[in-house]
Structure 1
Amino acid sequence: METVLRAQPGVRDAAAGLREYQHGDQRLIAYIVPTGDPRPDSDELRTALARTLPDYMVPVTYVTLDALPTTPNGKLDREALPTPEQQGTGPDHISPRDPVEQVLAELFAKVLGVDAHRVGVHDNFFELGGHSLLATRLIAHIRSVLLVTLSPREVFERPTVAGLAGLTRDDHGRAPLPQIRRADRDGALPLSSGQERLWFMEQLRPGVPLHNMHWGGRLYGELDAAALRAALDDVVARHEILRTVFPTRRGRPEQLVLDTLEVPWDVQDARDWSESTVKAHVEEAVRAPFDLAEGPLLRSLLLRVGAREHLLVLAVHHVVFDAWSLGILLRELAHHYRARVDRVEPALPAMLLQYADFAAWQRSWLAGKPAAEQLRYWQNRLADAPKALELPTHRPRPAIQSHHGGYELVTVPADVMSRLREVCEREGVTLFMTLLTGFKIVLAWHAGVTDIVVGTPIANRNRVELESLIGFLVNTLPLRTDLAGDPTIGELLGRVRETCLDAYANQDLPFEQIVRKVAPGRDRSRAPVIQVMFAMAHMEGREPEFPGLTIEPLDISLEISRLDMSFIVGESASGLDVGVEYNVALFDQATIARILQDYGVVLRALADWPTERHLSDLMSLVAAR
């Protein structure tokens, strides 16, 4: 990133780094040494960097210095970089004009991680770096502070402070979601709807690591292993769900929260091990099955592979965890580790709710009118939908679904991504919607159909009190779009936009409830309702900092495919990384590589073609390859 900064016009030298603000908030700050006057404009720098860097690598604040501070030996002294002051605003900036706009500007800034003074009343939430997941968080904060419940569609259609202020002042008595209260701990604690589904699937496929989740990191520096282990125990003590087991009573599972639980802590000296032996130990740690009834459902492996180098691996079962939870776990682990090393008390706020409270609340919500209304929406939306998305396979589908998986990865160049963002701005869609449109076009070509149902995960944390909760909250939305009638590219984007906005407005209903109504029969050869998934990986927050340590992510593969095919896209410094997890019982590697190539071709066309061109033109382009 610093290299890209130095390459900008008017910049002689530059540095960047995370700086901590109040309440542990960390922001990425750029420090600029200009070549002279006029000095580089921060908005222009931000726009230029956004063309080549992913959102999470674009600094949110820019500080101009006469020179970068250095140590006596001439190296950059990062500790001496000053705390940034509030930055000025441009000539078109209009500050909030009343208390409602002021609150909304502050909420924009909080959710996006930018300075509140940067947010004017006509600034677009999505142009400031927002996306669908962050929009859900914004809605939760608006509900909490202003006691107004907005819909994702309203945020998308009126994405400025001024626009949303008008909606909050004209709130027509919308019923807020009922408050989540602490559940009674005297009796049995119910499972959430998602937990119950995972528990049932574990009974069908015992010993298969289908729902194992993991994280691995290579740690460089002086590690205090005792402090790290104590810090992990601190996190487990803080979150009930990490010390929860699932015994059965009369054939039904229950949540049982243990008072204490010691996380398995496997520490070994691997300095003399071969690379293959280290790899085998890591894979064993993440693939070993969990006993849901006995637990524990979290375990760790620490390998010392060098004098100042360790491998840390955490494995956890999905029934108590999701991808959002990983960010919480790592941030709190870093916080407790720092406290243990410095021998001070941790400063995290008290946990007012636990996952079991959410599970009990969800059960109550499912019995009410809002859940029934959302169920009717999904029944109507998926009525007469194809039973399955039948992509051409190399081998007959097994009678019982296989989960042995392969993985392929390609990168779409940054210049294509830059042009796609321009298309998004012109057409009023998010990057996710545009990437999903391209994916559905490729699926339509390979499957020979126009009625496409694709699943996508959604964090399901549309309330402020759920943002810091570890647990299995993620939900799956079946996104059905009809591509019939040879629509133009602009019409295609509009159809996918409507599909997504309607789904976001009905995201609270657990996917399991949808399956029970629209696909009650059990076909063990394939997943119900959706066989293909499309997900966009977002970098929520900054990487946690462990004192004295540098952490490099460790690539670990389970070689598992939960569905026929899953596309996972994520922005990187190189552009867009597109990974495909696929079922090797159905597809050969060459076919997946062809699908990836076709996807790249379609994305380039979406980036460069006029939106008046038709779907048939895109299909002809793919066919001609």
Structure 2
Amino acid sequence: MITRPAPHPAGRPAIVETAPLSPGQERLIAAEFVRPDGTWPAPGEPTRLRPIDTAAVLVDGPLDTRALQHAVSALIVRQSALRTRLHHLPDNTPIQLVAASIPDRVGHSTLTAPTPPTRDVLLAQAPPQHVDPRSHTLFRTHLVRLGDRRNVLLLQIHHFVSDGWSIGVLYRELAALYNAAHTGRPAELPPLPRTFATVCRDMRDERHSPKLQRQLAFWRERLAPPRPPLAFTTHPAQDDTGQRPVDVHPVHIPRPALAGLRAGARSAARRGPLAGPFLAALALVLHHQTAATDIRVGMMISNRARPDTEHLIGYFVNTAVIRLRLHADMTATSLTDAANNAVRQALEHQALPIQDLARDLHHHHANTPGPLYQVTLALNTMRPQTLTLDGLTCRDIDMEPTGPRNAPTSIEQRWVLEEQAGALTGTLTYRTDTFSEPQIRLALDHLDQAIAAVTAGRPTVAEITAAFRAPGSGQ
């Protein structure tokens, strides 16, 4: 709801909208921000919350800084999530507050750099990465001048108000607003009938609706026990903080392999999500690593089936559990069909928050051992390659952190992949008390073989995994 501006201290903008957190924001705050005992950290107290995400775009040509400033200001006005911060009520209930405005001035600095500077050098030019969502601005921009016709634009947005889909929205709308301001014409952007806060209130209202009860019934049946855990390790170690140690390895799936996966996503002449055939290949690797025939992967899902969410920036993302059952005589084609079907059904039942499902399953099957899933997949194919600014040449600079991110101790592998230049690139974060680096390199080799098998469609599960073990396969 739009509220009357509240009294506020001098210098702090009025609050124009309030809303509950989205289910995704709830999970984020519970997992990374509040203390383990559920209390809120004091201002300035270190938390597990990931730092603000930074994208860097190298811009060659005569950049119109006036148009850029206009575009940034207009985007902040248009997308209310960019003006949002976290707040907790006296009873510790978290809510989000939307301010009438936030600082929108594009920061500037100058570097002498004949080539694009490194990630660390660029981050040193921007404001600090670690932010408190209760008090800090969660969207900001900074322009690093490298020369008369060369700049790097830093775009920083916190995942409390942004997901992978949102980054695509951010790039498209910032480009459209810049190009319009540069040419002196109105930007042709679709209207936004609802704000992110409005959608969050809808999400809260529908959590016990008949629609979500039907989705709950589907997931209860889909995830009925037994749910045997994947036997990666039997005695997990922990460090001094109680966290299991992790490391990260780069992942690259080249253009030909991605084309084969896309072909596998077609069923009955209809193109499906890329996730289906990739999950089929990943299931083969996990089956080989554990001998399990019940493979469950927690897949990040856009959760944007609601009307009027396509063009909104906000944290909508949910997790869907993709369950695949393998047997030795199953062909790669049959496995891919099963994965495509599982992904399609997950998309049809994506609105039920995973935390609500987990609570329900625990209530009805409290004695079922093991987590719902031990492997997660985030596969982003929605982001454009880079900004498209009139009269300029733009190219993304890799700003992916080299270190691993925190994960729940039940997660053994976290795959984060993004489509770029016709290939899939990203990272695999893994538990070092479960996997050695050579084992991870071998698993990535096996993934390449599995993708080839899924693309061919003919071998059986037994034949594919036998090839993994064959002399010359690298094991």
With the length of structure 2 as denominator, give the TM-score of the two structures: 0.80
Q: Secondary structure at the match of 1:291?
A: coil
With the length of structure 1 as denominator, give the TM-score of the two structures: 0.62
How far the C-alpha of 1:216 sits from its partner, in A, is 1.6
Separation of aligned partners in 2, 1:225 and 1:261: 19
Separation of aligned partners in 2, 1:548 and 1:413: 29
- Pick aligned residue for 1:623 from 452, 469, 474: 469
1:199 aligned to 2:32? no
1:185 aligned to 2:3? yes
In structure 1, what is the equivalent of residue 197 of structure 2? 356
In structure 1, what is the equivalent of residue 302 of structure 2? 459
CA RMSD of aligned residues (A): 3.3
Going from structure 1 to structure 2, the CA distance change for 1:336 and 1:184 (only over 3 Å counts) comes to closer
1:577 aligned to 2:395? no
Q: Relative contact order: is structure 1 or structure 2 higher (C-alpha 8 Å, sep ≥ 6)?
A: 2
CA offset digits 1:531-551 (Å, max 9, x no partner) = 322343324667542122211
Q: Secondary structure at the match of 2:34?
A: helix
Going from structure 1 to structure 2, the CA distance change for 1:456 and 1:383 (only over 3 Å counts) comes to same
Q: Secondary structure at the match of 2:308?
A: helix
In structure 1, what is the equivalent of residue 412 of structure 2? 564
- Pick aligned residue for 1:614 from 460, 469, 473: 460
Q: Structure 1: give runs of 5+ residues left out of the alignment.
A: 1-182, 521-526
Going from structure 1 to structure 2, the CA distance change for 1:238 and 1:410 (only over 3 Å counts) comes to closer
Q: Please identify runs of 4+ aligned residues in structure 1 that moved more than 6 A.
A: 273-278, 426-429
How far the C-alpha of 1:248 sits from its partner, in A, is 1.3
Q: Does the aligned pair in 2 maintain the 1:519–1:528 contact within 8 Å?
A: no
Separation of aligned partners in 2, 1:263 and 1:571: 30
How far the C-alpha of 1:503 sits from its partner, in A, is 1.8
Q: Does the aligned pair in 2 maintain the 1:395–1:585 contact within 8 Å?
A: no
Going from structure 1 to structure 2, the CA distance change for 1:338 and 1:252 (only over 3 Å counts) comes to same
Separation of aligned partners in 1, 2:24 and 2:267: 38
Worse overlay, 501-510 or 533-542: 533-542
1:442 aligned to 2:282? no
In structure 2, what is the equivalent of residue 302 of structure 1? 143
How far the C-alpha of 1:423 sits from its partner, in A, is 5.4
In structure 2, what is the equivalent of residue 604 of structure 1? 452
Separation of aligned partners in 2, 1:367 and 1:418: 41
Q: Does the aligned pair in 2 maintain the 1:330–1:544 contact within 8 Å?
A: yes
How far the C-alpha of 1:425 sits from its partner, in A, is 4.9
1:376 aligned to 2:224? no
How far the C-alpha of 1:209 sits from its partner, in A, is 4.8
1:245 aligned to 2:85? yes
In structure 1, what is the equivalent of residue 67 of structure 2? 227
The one-letter amino acid paired with 1:616 is A
Please identify the structure whose Cα radius of gyration is greater.
1
1:529 aligned to 2:360? no
CA offset digits 1:375-395 (Å, max 9, x no partner) = 222233223254643435997
The one-letter amino acid paired with 1:210 is R
In structure 2, what is the equivalent of residue 409 of structure 1? 251
- Pick aligned residue for 2:98 from 257, 261, 264: 257
Q: Secondary structure at the match of 1:371?
A: helix
Aligned residues: 434
Q: Secondary structure at the match of 1:553?
A: strand
Q: Does the aligned pair in 1 maintain the 2:413–2:431 contact within 8 Å?
A: no
Higher relative helix content: 1
Q: Does the aligned pair in 2 maintain the 1:397–1:585 contact within 8 Å?
A: no
In structure 1, what is the equivalent of residue 367 of structure 2? none
Worse overlay, 349-358 or 591-600: 349-358
Separation of aligned partners in 2, 1:290 and 1:548: 35
The one-letter amino acid paired with 1:409 is V
Separation of aligned partners in 2, 1:256 and 1:346: 28
Separation of aligned partners in 1, 2:238 and 2:268: 40
The one-letter amino acid paired with 1:472 is Y
In structure 2, what is the equivalent of residue 217 of structure 1? 57
- Pick aligned residue for 1:319 from 135, 160, 181: 160
Q: Structure 2: give runs of 5+ residues left out of the alignment.
A: 5-16, 37-45, 364-369
How far the C-alpha of 1:609 sits from its partner, in A, is 5.6
Q: Does the aligned pair in 1 maintain the 2:119–2:399 contact within 8 Å?
A: no
How far the C-alpha of 1:478 sits from its partner, in A, is 0.9
Matches within 5 A, 1:324-343: 324-343=165-184
How far the C-alpha of 1:485 sits from its partner, in A, is 5.6
How far the C-alpha of 1:600 sits from its partner, in A, is 0.8
How far the C-alpha of 1:488 sits from its partner, in A, is 2.9
How far the C-alpha of 1:479 sits from its partner, in A, is 0.6
Q: Secondary structure at the match of 2:54?
A: strand
The one-letter amino acid paired with 1:223 is L
- Pick aligned residue for 2:381 from 519, 534, 538: 538
Q: Does the aligned pair in 2 maintain the 1:221–1:308 contact within 8 Å?
A: yes
How far the C-alpha of 1:617 sits from its partner, in A, is 1.1
How far the C-alpha of 1:366 sits from its partner, in A, is 0.8
Separation of aligned partners in 1, 2:190 and 2:264: 42
Q: Secondary structure at the match of 2:312?
A: coil
Q: Secondary structure at the match of 2:248?
A: strand
Q: Does the aligned pair in 1 maintain the 2:303–2:351 contact within 8 Å?
A: yes
